[in-house]
Copies of this chain bind each other. A is one copy, B any other.
Amino acid sequence: MNKRLLLAGLALALGAGVTHTALAQVKPDTLVKQRQAAMTLQGKYFGPLAGMAQGKIPYNADTVAMNAALLDALSRMPWDGFVPASKDATMKTAALPAVWSEPDKFKAAQDNFQKAVQALVSVSRGGDEAAQKAAIGGVGKACGGCHQDFREKQ
């Protein structure tokens, strides 16, 4: 109960939409490493949900709720790493030139993903398996939509 109240308050902070890192001091390679880390963890927690939606692994309501909550946080993390300073990175990145040449479209793809995650979050505690699987599909589609245009083919 205590934890529930705390997170309820924190949700207000999460909605602020402000950059809360000190980007000016961050090295280009660190920017890339951090945004890739966020993508790696999105994969960690989305993977099992995609497996459930595709019928490859058994549906588990607790896992849907937990992973949706973690994706809620993770879905906010990569974007401030896609700043011009990161173009000076020496490490390998799969970001396509379109990230820089089509910023409005890239931002729209980010927003689309975050909305899809929020839609999943909103049904993740309801126990409605069909609605959850549909929302998981929506997140997968949003991931793919952004990767299609802005990430090098893997």
* Interface positions of A (Cβ within 8 A of B): 2-16, 18, 20-22, 33-34, 36-38, 40-41, 44-45, 47-48, 51, 57, 60, 62-63, 65-70, 72-74, 76-77, 118, 121-122, 124-125
Contact = CB atoms under 8 A, between A and B. Distances in A.
Contact of A65 (B13, B36, B65, B122): B13
A14 B66 contact: yes
Given A7-B8, A11-B7, A125-B9, A74 B73 contact: yes
Contact of A10 (B2, B7, B47): B7
A65 to B, nearest CB: 3
Given A41-B41, A66-B13, A66-B16, A22 B8 contact: no
